[in-house]
């Protein structure tokens, strides 16, 4: 027995010794490389032909370092407006989206937010920004112009814009802006409530709770929680939102990392609002982080049907730490796990592919977990919906059209000639109005990049290299003739796909974000599927394994 004890002690000492040696080697590597970096910069500073800006050069070095970690780890050298907005959802400014207009070579107002200084003073989408406090901003990028528009809350500045060929001057007082994270909620069918949630910064839970309470008072017996395009935010807000639908004391999510003191288990802490009403959570590839905690935990608890397409797959947790000279480091400290025990992180940022992209875990290598009721779910690739609803495919023309100055200018011109339009959700274009749109875009000189022409060019190059071009030339020329763009013909051919983009653009100009969300529900494939699911409660229960 004594010999056995000695053997065990020797084994333990060997393991401890090996760990200590490994840690010592790790620390030595850190010290060596930091000394090398310090020496290199000193020699650059002394001998380089030009004088270097330390903040710029070392700042580049820091960002290059962080790019080797993951996309979510970042450094903010001082108290940073972006960091504050990211964590609180607040910033001080005028409350407006701006975009760059190539033809004007200036930033223009794209969307004044409702009940903000920009909307109250009368700024409109399409206003071309000429001067900010006397500074001509011609040729300035949107980030630089945004820097002028933002500032301390309570400060006033002069903004000169061009509208319809005339200059208008506004005196605007900046204020703290916090956009609603529930831009729209309402009854979309008899007994079906709908809540659109766009983020998880401070106050998200309160907004969702208020919306849910009011919808129940209005007679909602079923609910759609729309998390599509929601990039996430606070874990606490996500847990509290889950708590609206599940009892107190349930584990929603837990985090695990290298430092044990950062590990945490999150439980529901309050009495729920409703544990029985049928719930559908809508998700897509833009639903990430806290959105995946909400959708994934409700799925694991068999409390809601998840519908849409697979989510982004962000299972990493970040925290903000102070660094020297008032800087802040937002860094990944762990992974989160939802009730079934699965982590839904999809990307491996520590082992990149040959082209530099992050690899993903193939479905064949993911592990099976089980919901509370025994349904199979998997880790490693986002939240897979219980009911998949693929979005409608769109012609490539639409992507170029909607982002163009010509499309934006047509909407500005339309609004200048119409004081009002139909209520949100009821806006449609007449044949005459759509034909006017086609004529405007055709005459504007709008051009778009036809992918078929690109493929044809590649085919021609390959045929030339392989010696087939001469004999294939007649067929290639025939294809080229068929692929030649005709703007007006294409706009008429794809009216069904283009018209919703037009009405969305018009509605947000008249009814802001809340109106745009309401308008988009009209032809939403997911909403159509929700209607059929809620019409047959047996199907709903069957999906949840009940």
Question: pLDDT for 277-301, tens place per residue?
Answer: 999 999 999 999 999 999 999 999 9
Q: Give the per-residue pLDDT at 472.
A: 77
pLDDT surpasses 70 at 6 = no
Which pLDDT band holds residue 40 (cuts at 50, 70, 90)?
confident
pLDDT surpasses 60 at 177 = yes
pLDDT surpasses 90 at 89 = no
Q: Among residues 263, 196, 259, 188, which one has the least CA distance to residue 221?
A: 188
289 is catalytic: yes
pLDDT surpasses 70 at 304 = yes
118 is catalytic: no
Which pLDDT band holds residue 67 (cuts at 50, 70, 90)?
confident
- The residue-averaged pLDDT of 484-506 equals 91
SS3 category, 358: strand
Q: Give the per-residue pLDDT at 250.
A: 97
Q: What percent of the chain has pLDDT over 90?
A: 62
Which pLDDT band holds residue 190 (cuts at 50, 70, 90)?
confident
H or E segment and range at residue 142: helix 142-149
Q: Give the per-residue pLDDT at 320.
A: 86
Neighbours of 17 (CB within 10 A): 10
CA-angle at 114, arms to 112 and 120, nearest 5°: 75
Range in 76-90, 327-341, 441-455 the model is least confident about: 76-90
pLDDT surpasses 60 at 15 = no
- The residue-averaged pLDDT of 367-382 equals 92
Q: Give the per-residue pLDDT at 246.
A: 98
Q: Give the per-residue pLDDT at 483.
A: 67
Instruction: For residue range 111-121, list pLDDT tens digits in order.
Output: 999 999 999 99
Measure CA of the first residue to CA of the last residue in the chain; give whole Å. Answer: 57
Rounded distance between C-alpha atoms, residue 287 and residue 312, angstroms: 6
Range in 242-256, 303-317, 481-495 the model is least confident about: 481-495
Q: Which residues contact 320 (CB under 8 A, 6 or more apart)?
A: 83, 87, 328, 329, 330
Instruction: For residue range 137-161, list pLDDT tens digits in order.
Output: 999 999 999 999 998 899 999 999 9
Q: Give the per-residue pLDDT at 4.
A: 47
Q: Give the per-residue pLDDT at 22.
A: 63
Range in 201-205, 456-460, 515-519 the model is least confident about: 456-460
pLDDT surpasses 60 at 129 = yes
- Residue 154 tokens read as 């309570």
Q: What percent of the chain has pLDDT over 70?
A: 92
Q: Give the per-residue pLDDT at 68.
A: 83
pLDDT surpasses 90 at 466 = no
Rounded distance between C-alpha atoms, residue 253 and residue 236, angstroms: 10
Q: Give the per-residue pLDDT at 155.
A: 95
Q: Which residue has the higher pLDDT, 1 or 231?
A: 231
Query: 97, 110 in Cβ contact below 8 A?
Result: yes
The residue from 96, 118, 289, 295 that is catalytic is 289
Q: Which residue has the higher pLDDT, 164 or 354?
A: 164
Q: Which residue has the higher pLDDT, 61 or 144?
A: 144
Instruction: For residue range 423-457, list pLDDT tens digits in order.
Output: 999 999 999 999 999 999 999 989 887 677 777 78
Which pLDDT band holds residue 328 (cuts at 50, 70, 90)?
confident
pLDDT surpasses 60 at 10 = no
Q: Give the per-residue pLDDT at 79.
A: 61
Q: Which residue has the higher pLDDT, 10 or 200?
A: 200
pLDDT surpasses 60 at 17 = no
pLDDT surpasses 90 at 352 = no
SS3 category, 388: strand
3-state DSSP of 6-36:
HHHHHHHHHHHHHHHHHHHHHHHHHHHHHHH
Q: Give the per-residue pLDDT at 462.
A: 81
Q: Which residue has the higher pLDDT, 402 or 8?
A: 402
Domains of the chain by start residue, with CATH = 90-178 (2.30.42.10), 184-391 (3.90.226.10), 396-450+485-528 (no CATH)
The residue from 222, 314, 330, 384 that is catalytic is 314
pLDDT surpasses 80 at 88 = no
Average pLDDT along the chain: 89
Query: 248, 223 in Cβ contact below 8 A?
Result: no
pLDDT surpasses 60 at 12 = no
CA-angle at 506, arms to 504 and 512, nearest 5°: 80
Q: Which residue has the higher pLDDT, 197 or 1?
A: 197
Q: Give the per-residue pLDDT at 5.
A: 52
């Amino acid at each position: 027995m004594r010999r056995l004890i000695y053997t065990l002690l020797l084994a333990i000492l060997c393991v401890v010794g090996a760990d200590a040696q490994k840690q010592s080697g790790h620390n030595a590597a850190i010290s060596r490389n930091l000394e090398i970096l310090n020496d290199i910069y000193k020699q650059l500073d002394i001998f380089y032909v030009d004088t270097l800006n330390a903040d710029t050069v070392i700042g580049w070095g820091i960002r290059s370092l962080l790019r080797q970690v993951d996309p979510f780890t970042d450094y903010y050298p001082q108290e940073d407006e972006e960091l504050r907005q990211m964590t609180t959802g607040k910033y001080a400014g005028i409350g407006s989206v701006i975009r760059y207009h190539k033809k004007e070579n200036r930033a223009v107002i794209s969307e004044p937010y409702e009940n903000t200084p920009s909307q109250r003073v009368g700024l409109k989408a399409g206003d071309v920004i000429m001067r900010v406090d006397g500074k001509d901003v011609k040729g300035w990028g949107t980030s630089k112009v945004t820097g002028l528009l933002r500032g301390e809350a309570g400060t006033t500045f002069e903004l000169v814009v061009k509208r319809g060929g005339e200059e208008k001057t506004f005196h605007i007082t900046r204020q703290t802006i916090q956009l609603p994270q529930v831009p729209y909620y309402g009854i979309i069918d008899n007994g079906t409530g709908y809540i659109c949630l766009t983020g998880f910064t401070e106050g998200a839970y309160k907004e969702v709770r208020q919306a849910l309470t009011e919808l129940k008072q209005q007679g909602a017996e079923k609910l759609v929680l729309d998390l599509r395009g929601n990039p996430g935010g606070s874990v606490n807000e996500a847990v509290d939102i889950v708590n609206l639908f599940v009892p107190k004391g349930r584990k929603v999510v837990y985090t695990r990392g290298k430092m044990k003191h950062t590990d945490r288990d999150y439980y529901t802490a309050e009495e729920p609002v409703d544990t029985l009403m049928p719930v559908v959570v809508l998700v897509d590839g833009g639903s990430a982080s806290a959105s995946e905690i909400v959708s994934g935990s409700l799925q694991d608890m068999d409390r809601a049907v998840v519908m849409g397409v697979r989510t982004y797959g962000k299972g990493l947790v970040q925290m903000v730490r102070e660094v020297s000279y008032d800087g802040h480091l937002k860094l990944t400290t762990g992974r989160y796990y939802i009730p079934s025990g699965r982590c839904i992180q999809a990307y491996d940022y520590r082992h990149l592919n040959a082209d530099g992209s992050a690899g993903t875990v193939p479905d064949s290598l993911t592990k099976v977990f089980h919901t509370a009721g025994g349904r199979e779910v998997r880790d490693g690739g986002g939240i897979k919906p219980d009911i998949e609803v693929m979005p409608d495919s769109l012609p490539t023309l639409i992507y170029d059209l909607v982002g163009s100055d010509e499309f934006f200018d047509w909407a500005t011109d339309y609004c200048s000639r119409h004081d009002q339009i139909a209520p949100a959700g009821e806006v449609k274009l007449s044949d005459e109005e759509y034909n006017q749109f086609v004529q405007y875009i055709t005459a504007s000189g709008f051009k778009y990049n036809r992918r078929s022409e690109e493929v044809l060019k590649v085919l021609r190059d390959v045929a030339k290299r392989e010696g087939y071009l001469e004999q294939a030339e007649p067929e290639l020329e025939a294809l080229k003739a068929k692929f030649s763009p005709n703007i007006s013909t294409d706009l008429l051919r794809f009216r069904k796909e283009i018209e919703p983009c037009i009405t969305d653009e018009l509605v947000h100009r008249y009814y802001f974000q809340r109106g745009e969300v309401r308008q988009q529900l009209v032809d939403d494939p997911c909403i159509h599927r929700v209607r059929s699911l809620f019409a047959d409660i047996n199907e709903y229960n069957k999906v949840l394994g009940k």
